[in-house]
Copies of this chain bind each other. A is one copy, B any other.
Amino acid sequence: MATLLAIITGIALFFFAIISQGGVEVFISAPSMMIVLGGTLAAVFISFPLPSVLKVAGVLLQIFKKDIQNPSWVIALVVRLSFKARQQSLLSLEQDIGVIDNRMIKLGLELVIDGHPAQLIRDVLETELDFVQIRHRRGEHIFRTAGKFAPSFGLIGTLIGLVQMLQTLGATGTDAANSLGHGMALALITTFYGAVMANLFFLPVAEKLKSRTDDEVLRTQIVIEGVLMLQAGMNPRIIERKLNSYLPPEQRASYYEDILKKQNRR
């Protein structure tokens, strides 16, 4: 919510300044838009397989839906499960799997309950993590590449406009300056489109995808370490201390104490 407000404020400031200086209708030019969009799309479609590009469109919607949740709930969950596993048994975690809605924790617990050795579990989970990263980084890479192509096609469009204008130069007679001005204005709009698309859409979204990936990698690393310590039957208190070191001090909490208190009350 706050993020959306901040973005809108920035963009409003930007467009208000443009309007306050003169009409906005001079910035509307279908051919300029077609050159920049057409060129950028063509370059992107040649660069990447179509399914990857389409999948990115899906990712895009999801990005602005919600902010990433605080990964402390992962720690709370792992500590609670390790407590239960020590009091009852590893197998007793089977009934918890159905409730968990995080794919990586689920997969990790399944592997633990199936009795696979720690090395295999680590291998499988880290390969999953690698793959999640590769898939996410590809999305970021597509946007970053589009952000490089867009200004180039903006420049190409301006070159096209300039060449066409210069060819007719001298033939226009009296209102030469008028014609020259209009021609150059039209030509420059394409550069404007390319720069705005890159700097207000492609590059910031690429950056956003990068933060998302970093956050997800962090959460998955906590899951991997947590599941392996849980399997090794380590003390929940030590598990908590070690996993908490992944979080900034202000996000840490003592789940162990809460559980202990609840246990004692019962």
User: Which single member of B11, B116, B170, B182 contacts A42 (CB below 8 Å)?
Assistant: B11
A232 at the interface (CB under 8 A from B): no
User: Which single member of B31, B124, B181, B205 contacts A166 (CB below 8 Å)?
Assistant: B181
Interface flags for A133-173 (1: CB within 8 Å of B; 0: not) read 01100000000010001001101110111111111111100
Interface pair B49/A68, CB less than 8 Å apart: yes
- Once bound together, how far apart are the Cα atoms of A33 and B254, in whole Å? 47
- Once bound together, how far apart are the Cα atoms of A164 and B157, in whole Å? 18
- Once bound together, how far apart are the Cα atoms of A27 and B203, in whole Å? 29
Interface flags for A205-227 (1: CB within 8 Å of B; 0: not) read 10110010010000000000000
Q: Which residues of B contact A185 (CB under 8 A)?
A: 162-163, 166-167
Interface pair B199/A21, CB less than 8 Å apart: no
Q: Which residues of B contact A125 (CB under 8 A)?
A: 245
Number of copies: 5
Q: Which residues of B contact A211 (CB under 8 A)?
A: 47-49, 52
Q: Which residues of B contact A38 (CB under 8 A)?
A: 9-17
Nearest Cβ distance between residue A141 and chain B, in whole angstroms? 9
A131 at the interface (CB under 8 A from B): yes
Q: With contacts A18-B31, A52-B211, A127-B246 known, what are 19 further pairs, Cβ within 8 A? A: A3-B49, A3-B50, A6-B50, A10-B44, A11-B42, A13-B37, A13-B39, A14-B42, A17-B30, A17-B32, A18-B35, A47-B204, A47-B211, A124-B241, A124-B242, A131-B247, A166-B181, A169-B182, A170-B178
